[in-house]
Amino acid sequence: MSPFVEIRLIALREVGKSIRSVKGIILGVLTLIGAFAASLLCVYVEGKQRATAGVDSTEAFTAFKHSIIANGTGNDALANTLASTPTSLLIFLQITIWLAPLLVALLGFDLISAEFQHRSVRYWTVRSRRSSYFIGKYLGLFGLVASVTLLLNVLAGIVVLAKGYAGIGDLVTWGTQFWLVTLPITMVWAAIAAFISSRFKTPILALLTTFGVFFVLWLLGIGGLVARFAMSTAGDIPTMSWYEYLYPNNYDQMLLSHEPTKVAMAIGILVGFSAVMSAAGSFLFARRDV
């Protein structure tokens, strides 16, 4: 059997198994409830912004948003790009990016470790290549989380549309772009989770390690954010430190850039990091006693 066929079958099985599992159903319900609450919060914040701005025209409100984004990011070009977007969708994008590693950790900590624990991994490793098994499990997790974030974006879009803060055209254009931005970021988180899960035979140890690694990466991102805020306050031009590039969520600004080179660079780095993690995971899993 072709390795591509093996990968496809294992990935589809992983998605189907996760959707049907009790854990998947509970997480799905909680995620939808949380997403609906977050959507209401987003439209509330946009409403407060409009009231604070005290402007009646769309052009004036766009200028108001431009000043906020430019001051917050120190990137005038990015502010030009995002100022015309519905604020509700932009806020929900940040929530989705923040939520992605949490979803990956909860859905993927037992991706392979649980099959080690129950020894069901032996059934698959004699029927498929070990590399196909690992890549299939990883892509299944990525596909599952990507589908969940798509559903969340659709739900948020419906709320924003109902509130009248965006038209259908804006919703399709920006909603699609924002969802696509989350994909390469989610790909990295899923690769890290799959790698960690393949190193443990006990799911709880995989869960704790996954949260630990994700927390360290988050600290790197927060540390850089604080440093850039200090630069901005001091009147300097905020620049990213080298360690910030280790935090996948920090690539959102590059992915939203109007410059194709920056977008391509961000995608290349994220896909490359995912490929390295997947290759390392496949290599070590192929030599592990199951």
The one-letter amino acid at 102: L
Q: Has residue 154 got a pLDDT over 60?
A: yes
Task: Say which range, 13-17, 54-58, 201-205, has the weakest mean pLDDT.
Answer: 54-58
Burial level of 166, CB count in 10 A (0-12/13-18/19+)? buried
pLDDT higher at 116 or 196: 196
Q: What angle do CA 157, 106, 118 make, to 5 degrees?
A: 140
What is the pTM assigned to this prediction? 0.86
Q: Please state, in angstroms and rounded to a whole number, the distance separating the CA atoms of residues 231 and 208.
A: 35
Q: What is the pLDDT of residue 175?
A: 86
Q: What is the pLDDT of residue 27?
A: 81
Q: How confident is the model at residue 53 (pLDDT cuts 50, 70, 90)?
A: low
DSSP-assigned letters across all residues of 43-86: HHHHHHHHHHHT--SHHHHHHHHHHHHHHHHS-HHHHHHHTTS-
Contacts of 226 (CB under 8 A, 6+ apart): none
How far are the Cα atoms of 33, 65, 195 from residue 182, in angstroms, in the given order? Answer: 20, 22, 20
Token pair, residue 210, equals 């996954």
- pLDDT tens per residue across span 123-136: 766 677 888 889 99
Q: What is the pLDDT of residue 37?
A: 86
Range of the domain at 200: 3-286
Q: Looking at the 3D structure of the chain, how many domains does it have? A: 1
Q: What is the pLDDT of residue 236?
A: 57
Q: Has residue 231 got a pLDDT over 60?
A: no
Q: What is the pLDDT of residue 8?
A: 87
Q: What is the pLDDT of residue 230?
A: 59
pLDDT higher at 104 or 160: 104
Q: What is the pLDDT of residue 55?
A: 55
Q: What is the pLDDT of residue 121?
A: 74
Q: How confident is the model at residue 32 (pLDDT cuts 50, 70, 90)?
A: confident
